[in-house]
């Protein structure tokens, strides 16, 4: 009696193509590594551009536009659309740390590295330090921040694991952000538990199961959702149980969020993406920042305390480029750090209070419910970081005299879409915890208030402090 194999969907075929063409993916990775190395090293050894330089005739400005105007904003966007394909196929750090681990010592991963707070801490420290050295503006700062991260990834690869991406799993500064955004991806590599169990007796395609290497250290049999998967395709078809599959973008947050959510995800969303990141984007346009700095400078002069006004900090601590008339005093640098910290704390705490009240409306307060509901803010948090990074895109294009009349409308549209997505996620989450309409509506009142708090940051940045 013959068995007819079911026809594979286009998604399954795409996953199988990735599995069969692993060598092509590796080649793409090394091309990206070469481009990445060129863009962070060459501009750093060239003179800084003068006032007559433009995107189309200066490598430094072109590299700045590629990194901060295209690369990072659209890498974030790709995670929401494609899952973590960026990590598995394109990321140079991922490729380099995995390559280095092939020839490394293969030490066991230490307990300190497994600490769950690293994604939040690494994101926060990298974001703040990047502002201290003006990483969006100067190539030496790019080499220091991004190049330093890459060297760290390779060192971790040499020391720990064997053909694994230990850096990506535990220490990458954007791993936590990508993990959150990937939960909204409309497809993932789904594991059939029944097929996995059958493979113990029937094998894979009727033959012995061939082991595979999951570089990002995902426990494949128990893999749920797309948060941790790097979408490299190596496991497609493994044990006849894993296949690239379409799903609802709501599924992972609504159905799996109660089990996957944790305090560090909540901290990263509220105090990281909707706190520290907002402060990092705000301070350059904030009239409050300027007014407070002028007040403090005047107070210091009146009291004959002049050392904070000195501009002798090295460039790798605070921005120091006299030839560009861009030099941070100790007061400037401290103000930047302080402004980001205070903004992060104020926004994060205000949002936490709103989400806590929203949670309370659903019944007796429960931390798991709070963390689950907080995941509903992923769309507004993600679009906020995209808009903040794309502000660099807009400023560079404006300097090149490109007409951008459509930008304010696009920003409003993206914010509206993100607000609707977050509100709909929250509405679906509330259904998990309340069967009647009243508590859900009361919960949504506070959740919408939280959205208003988040929206206020982008109103101030794009319309409040400066004209759009």
The answer to which of 57-66, 167-176, 315-324 has the lowest mean pLDDT is 57-66
Q: What is the mean pLDDT of residues 101-122?
A: 94
Confidence class of residue 58 from pLDDT cuts 50, 70 and 90?
confident
Measure the CA–CA gap between 427 and 425, rounded to whole angstroms.
5
Give the pLDDT confidence of 359-370 residue by residue, as tens digits.
Answer: 999 998 889 999
- Can you name the residues that pair with 245 across neighbouring β-strands? 188
CB 408 within 8 A of CB 462: yes
Residue 272: CB atoms within 10 A of its CB come to 27
Give pLDDT, residue 209: 83
Q: What is the mean pLDDT of residues 399-419?
A: 93
CB 158 within 8 A of CB 105: yes
Confidence class of residue 8 from pLDDT cuts 50, 70 and 90?
low
Q: What is the mean pLDDT of residues 325-342?
A: 96
Q: What is the rounded end-to-end Cα distance, in angstroms, of the chain?
A: 70
C-alpha torsion angle, residues 449, 453, 455, 457 (rounded to 10): 180
Give pLDDT, residue 2: 36
Q: In this structure, what token pair is assigned to residue 229?
A: 């998967």
141 class by beta-carbon count within 10 Å (0-12 exposed, 13-18 middle, 19+ buried): buried
Does the pLDDT value for residue 150 go beyond 90? yes
CB 373 within 8 A of CB 359: yes
pTM passes above 0.75:
yes
Measure the CA–CA gap between 181 and 421, rounded to whole angstroms.
13
Give pLDDT, residue 431: 95
CB 373 within 8 A of CB 366: no
Q: What is the mean pLDDT of residues 396-421?
A: 92
Q: Are strands 320-321 and 326-327 parallel, antiparallel or unpaired?
A: antiparallel
Q: In this structure, what token pair is assigned to residue 10?
A: 């286009």
Does the pLDDT value for residue 9 go beyond 90? no
Does the pLDDT value for residue 3 go beyond 70? no
In whole numbers, what is the pLDDT of the chain averaged over residues?
Answer: 93
Show the DSSP H helices in 361-404 as ranges: 367-374, 378-399
Give pLDDT, residue 4: 37
Does the pLDDT value for residue 337 go beyond 90? yes
Confidence class of residue 384 from pLDDT cuts 50, 70 and 90?
very high
Does the pLDDT value for residue 71 go beyond 80? yes
Confidence class of residue 84 from pLDDT cuts 50, 70 and 90?
very high
Does the pLDDT value for residue 49 go beyond 90? no
Does the pLDDT value for residue 67 go beyond 90? no
Give pLDDT, residue 273: 97
């Amino acid at each position: 009696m013959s068995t007819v194999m079911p026809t594979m969907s286009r998604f399954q075929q795409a996953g199988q193509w990735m599995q069969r063409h692993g060598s092509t993916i590796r080649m793409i990775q090394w091309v990206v590594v070469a481009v990445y190395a060129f863009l962070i090293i060459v501009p750093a050894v060239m003179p800084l551009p003068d006032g007559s330089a433009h995107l189309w005739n200066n490598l430094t400005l072109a590299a700045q536009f590629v990194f901060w105007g295209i690369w990072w904003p659209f890498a974030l966007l790709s995670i929401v659309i494609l899952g973590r394909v960026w990590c598995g196929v394109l990321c140079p750090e991922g490729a380099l740390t995995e390559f280095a681990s092939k020839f490394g010592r293969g030490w066991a991963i230490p307990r300190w590295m497994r600490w769950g707070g690293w994604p939040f801490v690494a994101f926060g420290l990298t974001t703040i330090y990047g502002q201290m050295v003006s990483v969006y503006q100067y190539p030496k700062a790019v080499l220091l921040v991004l190049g330093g991260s890459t060297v760290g990834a390779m060192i971790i690869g040499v020391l720990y694991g064997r053909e694994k991406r230990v850096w990506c799993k535990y220490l990458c500064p954007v791993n936590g952000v990508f993990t959150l955004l990937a939960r909204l991806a409309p497809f993932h590599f789904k594991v059939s538990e029944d097929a996995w169990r059958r493979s113990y007796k029937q094998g894979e395609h009727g033959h012995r199961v061939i082991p595979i290497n999951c570089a990002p250290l995902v426990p494949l049999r128990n893999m749920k959702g797309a948060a941790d998967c790097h979408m490299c395709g190596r496991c497609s078809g493994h044990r006849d149980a894993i296949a690239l599959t379409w799903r609802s973008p709501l599924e992972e947050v609504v159905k799996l969020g109660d089990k996957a959510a944790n305090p560090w995800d909540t901290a990263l969303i509220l105090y990281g993406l909707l706190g520290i990141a907002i402060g990092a984007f705000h301070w350059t346009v904030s009239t409050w920042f300027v007014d407070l700095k002028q007040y403090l400078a005047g107070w210091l002069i009146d009291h004959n305390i002049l050392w904070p006004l000195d501009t002798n900090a090295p460039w790798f601590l605070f921005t120091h480029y006299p030839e560009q008339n861009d030099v941070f005093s100790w007061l400037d640098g401290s103000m930047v750090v302080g402004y980001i910290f205070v903004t992060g704390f104020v926004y994060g705490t205000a949002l936490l209070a709103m989400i806590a009240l929203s949670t309370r409306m659903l019944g007796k307060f429960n931390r798991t419910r709070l963390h689950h509901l907080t995941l509903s803010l992923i769309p507004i948090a993600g679009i906020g970081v995209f808009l903040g990074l794309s502000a660099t895109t807009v400023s560079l294009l404006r300097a090149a005299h490109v007409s951008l009349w459509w930008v304010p409308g696009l920003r409003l549209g993206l914010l509206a879409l993100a607000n609707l997505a977050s509100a709909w996620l929250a509405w679906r989450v509330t259904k998990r915890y309340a069967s009647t309409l009243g508590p859900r509506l009361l919960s949504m009142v506070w959740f919408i208030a939280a959205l208003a708090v988040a929206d206020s940051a982008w109103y101030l940045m794009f319309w409040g402090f400066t004209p759009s």
